[in-house]
Amino acid sequence: MKGAVLGAAAISVRVVRSRHRRFLHPDGRSFPGELVVWGTGPTQGADLLDRPGRHSAVVRISKGIGTRGGRPDIRGVAVRVEGEHPLDLLFSTAGEGRFTRHLPAPRRTFDTFYGSILAYRTGTRRKVYLSARPESPLGRTLTGFDDGSLLLSADDRAFGRVSFGSALSADEDAALAFDPVRHTAPDLHPTGFVHSSRALAYRLSQRWRGAQPAEPAPSAVERTAAHR
């Protein structure tokens, strides 16, 4: 009973402290970048994966809990592909096995494997698992790098590289509001209960900390919840 009370108290403190910052992945740095896609050919059923091109991007590298220094944490990478309709891809440190890739895993360094945890569905109704891996050293702390590049893959097949540098200001980082459900595309989007629950969680969290949330996209939310 005492442990449960202490746990509830700790969560309450965390929520209160998140009033002006992110509840999850509170500590991070954001960078402008460019995504270069060489494409997989017409094999995955998603324009972003299949068609060669260049896209402006924003990359955020973060720690999920906010542990100090190089202590273990669920580390994260968020990539926003900019355009008329932004597309947000979110990755967390995970295992690389058939089953462990679906489980977040704490790591002591940013130089590791990141996965989408759950699959995305493409325009051909195919499910693909997305992942990212640093190509240049990032180190163990958020101050250990000022630029870098990430190799992006779909089902372990590399389709593009996002390069970034010149970190954004702390205010610009705080204003970013990633939304993995509403900032998607009809031919590349998450599905299922876990993802659909994030639709409400992200919106509440962003309003709580004073960030401008994504524009309403009921069709995207319905598409995710309906597992289509």
- What does the pLDDT read at residue 12? 34
Domain boundaries, the chain: 25-225
Q: How many CA atoms lie within 13 A of 176 on its CB side?
A: 27
Rounded Cα distance between 112 and 138, Å, is 9
pLDDT at site 124: 92
Q: What is the pTM of this model?
A: 0.86
Q: What is the 3-state secondary structure (H, E, C) of 75-131?
A: EEEEEEECCCCCEEEEEEEECCCCCHHHCECCECCCCCCEECCCCEEECCCCEECEE
Sequence letter at residue 3 = G
Q: What is the pLDDT along the chain (228 residues), one digit of tens a residue?
A: 443 333 333 333 344 444 456 767 789 999 999 999 998 877 889 999 999 999 999 999 999 988 888 899 999 999 999 988 999 999 999 999 989 999 999 999 999 999 999 899 999 999 999 999 999 999 999 998 999 999 999 999 999 999 999 999 999 999 999 998 999 999 999 887 776 677 777 777 777 788 888 888 888 888 887 776
In degrees rounded to 5, what are phi and psi of residue 68? -80, 145
Residues 154-186 pLDDT 10s: 999 999 999 999 999 999 999 999 998 999 999
Q: What is the pLDDT at residue 16?
A: 41
Distances in whole angstroms, Cα of residue 75 to Cα of each of 3, 9, 139: 27, 24, 12
pLDDT at 20: 54
Q: What is the pLDDT of residue 2?
A: 40
Domain 25-225 has CATH 3.30.70.980: no
Q: How far apart are CA 143 and CA 68, in angstroms?
A: 12
Closest C-alpha to 190, from 138, 103, 121: 121
